[in-house]
Structure 1
């Protein structure tokens, strides 16, 4: 007997109740993993193209070997796994504010979990990404060749109001201090390209580009789009 729906975990968090569930999508007959925060859907394993493109486009713009990469937002793990596919990545730190999400992967609950936790290059860190970016780097602080971020819905639509300062000029300047010279910052967004945000990026970084990522949506029978911003210092 096929179980159509299974709740794998439920935990209260400061931002709302976090739920991981597995179900069979009846229109496709495929297994789907989904994350909800309260009544809001955060992510689904049906739609991973743009999350993977965040890593592909960001690292394609990154020069050098033995790259140190920081991923803000672990989620279902697709951005981190795509980053590990680049053989130049020497060390991958993945930061998530919710220890529950890290625990899911350590328990092997998701399709990406074993590949992530079994790779010696990966370090999963329970921490506030936004607080880390605000902090003044010390001489011993790590500097990253690439910072890849997929946390909020978009620069205008955050999961928590405390995240908003990252998307300002001063917040982006603070983030840039954590990059190596010539490093890149890349950001996933659910919204179309935002001219005001591009202007803010352009005042901080040497180059900034908004890539529109189109992918098939099997639920609607059409196409959906996300945006990936890529900048260089």
Structure 2
């Protein structure tokens, strides 16, 4: 039997204090790992279906091998881990603003242990994903201008519910257009959202990308004994000789 509650780490960050805690969910008889930003829940190990679906749906939209994948937002690592389950992936770059989160993976404090950090295909980079998206240099400090087969993002709660004002411009046409420039032709942009599909945002994506669609991800919430629906948005860049 584990402790009913344990704070594993607590650190100040530029966007507020972040903490990692483990608590016993007595109603289910399981340990739950949670990342908190102040009093706000960022991620829970109890709900991982849509984080995994972000990787699965994004990679399902691609063909080929030795794929170069970027994940924006490391969190508990379920998206990155699901990416690495695919033999078609040649490299994975994960960008997270919070050094503490990267440290937790390297130290094995999370349910996945050091699995993501230890994979030879994976590089963890501490940095501002949104600044990288807006820049021409991009995300890889060792390869400025590098482009990817897929960029999968799980940072904000949704395009309308932001953790920090720094990301506000990312979800507009200009920000999405800048992000698209970091994708290879036919590349996939995937975005996690805590909300149900928003046709207005899908339409906004279609104005920038060659095609765009929303995939609802419904799973069982054991705490409420009810189904809950989140969303993975997907969009594809044009390939040569195609028009948006």
- Say which of 191, 200, 205 aligns to 2:204: 200
Which residue of structure 2 aligns with residue 61 of structure 1? Answer: 61
- Say which of 216, 233, 238 aligns to 1:229: 233
Which residue of structure 1 aligns with residue 164 of structure 2? Answer: 160
Q: Provide the C-alpha distance between the structure 2 equivalents of 1:157 and 1:118, rounded to a whole number of angstroms.
A: 33
Q: Provide the C-alpha distance between the structure 2 equivalents of 1:137 and 1:177, rounded to a whole number of angstroms.
A: 11
Q: 2:136–2:145: 8 Å Cα contact kept in structure 1?
A: no
Q: Provide the C-alpha distance between the structure 2 equivalents of 1:102 and 1:19, rounded to a whole number of angstroms.
A: 13
Q: Provide the C-alpha distance between the structure 2 equivalents of 1:64 and 1:205, rounded to a whole number of angstroms.
A: 21
Q: Which runs of 4+ in 1 moved over 4 A?
A: 137-140
Which residue of structure 2 aligns with residue 184 of structure 1? Answer: 188
Q: 2:2–2:31: 8 Å Cα contact kept in structure 1?
A: no
Q: Provide the C-alpha distance between the structure 1 equivalents of 2:159 and 2:104, rounded to a whole number of angstroms.
A: 27
Which residue of structure 2 aligns with residue 174 of structure 1? Answer: 178
Q: Provide the C-alpha distance between the structure 1 equivalents of 2:185 and 2:30, rounded to a whole number of angstroms.
A: 44
Which residue of structure 1 aligns with residue 17 of structure 2? Answer: 17
- Report deviation, 1:46: 0.2
Matches within 5 A, 1:105-120: 105-120=105-120
Q: 2:173–2:204: 8 Å Cα contact kept in structure 1?
A: yes
- Report deviation, 1:82: 0.4
Which residue of structure 2 aligns with residue 28 of structure 1? Answer: 28
- Report deviation, 1:2: 3.4
Q: Provide the C-alpha distance between the structure 1 equivalents of 2:114 and 2:166, rounded to a whole number of angstroms.
A: 32
Give the TM-score normalised by the residue count of structure 2: 0.93
- Report deviation, 1:137: 4.2
Q: Deviations over 1:102-127 (max 9, x none)?
A: 01111110122321112100100000
Are 1:83 and 2:83 counterparts? yes
Which residue of structure 1 aligns with residue 97 of structure 2? Answer: 97
- Say which of 206, 214, 220 aligns to 1:216: 220
Give the TM-score normalised by the residue count of structure 1: 0.97
Q: Provide the C-alpha distance between the structure 2 equivalents of 1:2 and 1:38, rounded to a whole number of angstroms.
A: 24
Which residue of structure 1 aligns with residue 151 of structure 2? Answer: 147
- Report deviation, 1:144: 0.2
Q: In structure 1, the residue corresponding to 2:17 is in which secondary structure? A: strand
